Structure 1
Amino acid sequence: MIGIRTSLPLPSIGEIVSQLVVYFLVEDYGNYWIHRLLHCKWGYEKIHRVHHEYTAPIGFAAPYAHWAEVLILGIPAFLGPVMVPGHMITFWLWIALRQIEAIETHSGYDFPWTPTKYIPFYGGAEYHDYHHYVGGQSQSNFASVFTYCDYIYGTDKGYRCQKRLLKQVKVAVSSLYFCVLRLVWKLT
């Protein structure tokens, strides 16, 4: 009905990749605004608070949400395939990649070996953990996958500030550690 084809020929790798890029960008932009609306007083109290019961999320918490939220946030996920219909293989790959990404983002682990480290503006677990950590009617880190909307609209300022502070604390602790080592070395 919307133009997703199931017949041969199969799509080329270039077609699949270009459509997946469109699907991710469309879903991410739509999800940003819907997620942000769900953090208004009414949206949070009536719907989104269920998802935020996990302040330190785990992979299984990714789909844990109010039924209305699942339906509402499903709209941007299907908007890309409606706008740029492709092959059923591309569609199923899109659904699988989107779910894997959601589980990774909610896993609580910032895996150093994940290929997503090489994707520009990718948020990941650490980025989304901050959103759950702040909790409540948080006004930060609404990104679904990429961080560009949060950066453009200024909703990641708290996260960036916290990152700077943590970096300064790490530098201070490292300096203190080496000072103590030098002192111990001199005393022995």
Structure 2
Amino acid sequence: MLPYATAAEAEAAVGRGMTWAEAAWFRYSASIPDYCLYCHNVPILLLVYTLAPLPLALLELRRRRRHLPLPHKLQPGVRHPPAAFLRCYAATARVLLLAVGPVQLASYPAVRAVGIRTGLPLPSAGETAAQVAVYLLVEDYLGYWIHRLLHTPWAYHHIHRVHHEFTAPMGYAAPYAHWAEILILGFPAFAGPAIVPCHMTTIWLWFKLPFDPTKYIPLYGGVEYHDYHHFVGGHSQSNFSSVFTFCDYIYGTDRLKEMAGNHVEKGDENGFGNGKQD
């Protein structure tokens, strides 16, 4: 909750007039406790997860019904049926509500301890961009090693195989995983803000950003790079990075999609693995 009763008090504390964004933040958050602001993470997470993949999902279903080509897909021969979208969405939303939600609500003391703030002034665009860049690097490095550990036999069989059920991923399948994996991968995502504390609005942006601008950054891997990891299936020992490619390059686990070759077993026409490979 902001310690200012009026906009004039807020401007006096900041030492200048508020920007339009700061004025909007003041009007919205002045009377809301900090804990409630942090709790926004859960509905925002569900909203972004529901809406961000929806246009491409509807496009794929529409073109599938009319037997039209799918040029936007990396594996255009795979056509997910409506049941696959519904199953994926329902399973992931359930995990987000029942596993991620309680952890988000219980982690507020840690957020306060590392110095996440809610007051004025708001961070500049440059400050936000620099912080998100650090978070991307930290998350990518830690996530790389966690991903490799999840491909060890025990972890894969008991946890990570769920994420690999989709050998041809689509938007809703990005966070589709065992509840334990989603919680484990929350650690590298939170590590960046813990190292470089930020404003609550940056936290919202970092955890919920639906569009990925990092494709314009050198060493970016992204969707196509990770698609090969799923294309190969459960025995894949390459392309573990989630954002960049430097960890795979340094540790010798980078592979190009063209290297898949004819020996790779594809999933069936609906994009699911056969249960043995995955």
TM-score > 0.5 by shorter chain: yes
Work out the number of aligned pairs and report it.
Answer: 149
Structure with the bigger percentage of helix: 1
Contact 2:159 2:180 in 1 (8 A): yes
The residue that corresponds to 1:53 in the other structure is 165
Contact 1:26 1:76 in 2 (8 A): yes
Amino acid in the other structure paired with 1:18: A
Contact 1:44 1:137 in 2 (8 A): no
User: TM-score, normalization: structure 2?
Assistant: 0.51
The residue that corresponds to 1:134 in the other structure is 232
**TM-align CA RMSD:** 1.7
CA positional deviation for 1:44: 0.5
CA positional deviation for 1:159: 2.2
CA positional deviation for 1:43: 0.8
Structure 1 vs Structure 2: percent identity of aligned residues?
69
Which one of the candidate residues 155, 175, 182 is aligned to 1:43?
A: 155
Q: Give structure 2 stretches of 5+ with no counterpart.
A: 1-111, 262-278
In 2, Cα distance between the equivalents of 1:21 and 1:162? Answer: 30
Which one of the candidate residues 162, 171, 174 is aligned to 2:259?
A: 162
The residue that corresponds to 1:110 in the other structure is none
Matched, 1:144 2:246: no
In 2, Cα distance between the equivalents of 1:160 and 1:65? Answer: 23
Q: Give structure 1 stretches of 5+ with no counterpart.
A: 102-114, 166-188
In 2, Cα distance between the equivalents of 1:152 and 1:161? Answer: 20
The residue that corresponds to 2:129 in the other structure is 17
CA positional deviation for 1:160: 6.7
* Offset from partner CA, 1:81-128 (integer Å, 9 cap, x none): 11111111111111122x544xxxxxxxxxxxxx54421111122111
Contact 2:225 2:257 in 1 (8 A): no
In 2, Cα distance between the equivalents of 1:21 and 1:154? Answer: 24
CA positional deviation for 1:161: 6.2
CA positional deviation for 1:7: 0.3
**Structure 1 residues 76 and 117: CA distance shift in structure 2, 3 A:** closer
Which one of the candidate residues 64, 81, 89 is aligned to 2:176?
A: 64
Contact 1:41 1:137 in 2 (8 A): no
**Mean Cα deviation higher: 5-14 or 48-57:** 5-14
User: TM-score, normalization: structure 1?
Assistant: 0.75
Structure 1 stretches of at least 4 aligned residues deviating more than 6 Å after TM superposition: none
